[in-house]
Amino acid sequence: MKKIVLFTTSLIVILVILYFVSNYSFKEGFDIVKPQCNKKGCPVTSLQSSTYKLHTEYKQIRDKNHMLAHNSQAKHFLFSNNGPANIFIIRHGEKIKSKHALDCNGILRSTYVPKLIERLNDNGHGVHAIVSAYDYHSMHQEQTVSLASWLMDIPLYLYGEQSQTDIAVQNIFTNKFFNGKTVLICWEHECIQSLIRSIVTIGAKLKGLNNYQFENPEGNSNLPNWNTDNYQSIIHFDENLKYSVSEERLFTCFPEDNSIITYSGIQRCK
């Protein structure tokens, strides 16, 4: 009798679970209802998910960047000088040290990147492309800028691993797509010095800047050394590879955040 009751109870539990799975998980997760469409052939935004609505909410910001990016001399990129007109460099967001992903503060910082691009727009710079690196042991860099790429309809290009800065710079300065354009680069902070070394050597040569000499804000040729806790700095190179530094002024809950860059010492890129 006990075995019969136990069997019956187990059967009921299994049937309840199957009912729940079939009526909730599969129904809500896989049965996508055909959307209502407007006269333009697009889904009615108010009836869509919050993810879809987020993309539509950025339309005005997205359109402004697109207008700036494509109504400049960059539209003649096939005939312009080698390399971008502007390069902006940021580091990836805060990360989980023991894992390959961003932490809660890094995720928050990734949501700020569209705002950073909007600020660049306010200064007349339309971002044409985002460049980063891929690494098999982490996704910090591409994860920091992937949301901005999606929200702003800006292409994201991954060139080599973080230590292979020559590969990235070679592509940026030889691919005609980047000629005369504004490029936002997101990189590992320990390798930004190496990235800059590649820009001021390989990039300068490919641009034909034969008499180029890198100069930092201190008036010498020492390359920047990016502080471990610096998530604020933005490095800028103009068309003639003139170097300058500014700050994001975008904050998370990371208490040690700073904007410290020094101009001494070799930074190990690995």
How much is the pLDDT for 167?
98
Span 7-46, pLDDT tens digits:
444 555 455 444 544 554 444 445 678 899 999 999 999 9
Measured at the alpha carbon of residue 191, what is the angle toward residues 165 and 176, in degrees to the nearest 5? 30
Question: Do 11 and 69 have their domain in common?
Answer: no
Per residue in 161-213, pLDDT (tens digit) is 999 999 999 999 999 999 999 999 999 999 999 999 999 999 999 999 999 99
Q: What is the pLDDT of residue 270?
A: 86
The pLDDT tens digits of the residues spanning 99-128 come to 889 999 999 999 999 999 999 999 999 999
Counting the structural domains of the chain, the total is: 2
Same domain, 193 and 131: yes
Residue 11 shares a structural domain with residue 88 = no
Q: Do 102 and 223 fall within a single domain?
A: yes
Q: What share of the chain is helix, strand, coil (3-state, %, to 5)?
A: 45, 15, 40
What CATH number did the domain enclosing 102 receive? Answer: 3.40.50.1240
Q: What pLDDT is recorded for position 21? A: 45
- Is residue 186 a part of any domain in this protein? yes
- pLDDT of residue 72 exceeding 90: no
Stretch among 8-22, 123-137, 212-226, 252-266 having the lowest mean pLDDT: 8-22
Looking at the structure, do residues 77 and 205 belong to the same domain, yes or no? Answer: yes
Average pLDDT, the chain: 89
Mark whether 78 and 160 lie in a shared domain.
yes
- Is 230 within a domain? yes
User: Is the pLDDT confidence value at 2 over 60?
Assistant: no
> Which has the closest alpha carbon to 81: 229, 245, 240?
240
Is 172 in contact with 131 (CB distance < 8 Å)?
yes
- Residue 267 placed within a domain: no
Structure tokens at 85: 């007109």
Per-residue pLDDT band for 74 (boundaries 50, 70, 90) equals very low
Asked whether residue 37 is domain-assigned, the answer is yes
In a domain, 268, yes or no: no
What does the pLDDT look like over 157-175, one tens digit per residue? Answer: 999 999 999 999 999 999 9
The two three-digit tokens of residue 201, written as one number: 């050597």
Are residues 43 and 73 both part of a single domain? no
**Confidence at residue 81, expressed as pLDDT on a 0 to 100 scale:** 67
Is 270 inside a domain boundary?
A: no
Q: Give the percent of the chain with pLDDT over 70.
A: 85
Which residue in 135, 174, 134, 137 sits closest to 156, CA to CA? 134
Q: Are residues 228 and 138 in the same domain?
A: yes
Average pLDDT over residues 241-269: 97
What confidence score (pLDDT) does residue 7 get?
44
Residue 55, in any domain of the structure:
no
Domain assignment present for residue 212? The answer is yes
φ/ψ of residue 184, rounded to 5 = -105, 120
Kindly state whether residues 141 and 180 are assigned to the same domain.
yes
18 and 64 belong to one structural domain: no
75 and 131 part of one domain = yes
Range of the domain at 136: 60-262
Whether residue 114 is found in the same domain as residue 23: no
- pTM, two decimal places: 0.87
pLDDT at 19: 52
Confidence of residue 223 (pLDDT cuts 50, 70, 90): very high
The pLDDT, as a whole number, for residue 127 is 98
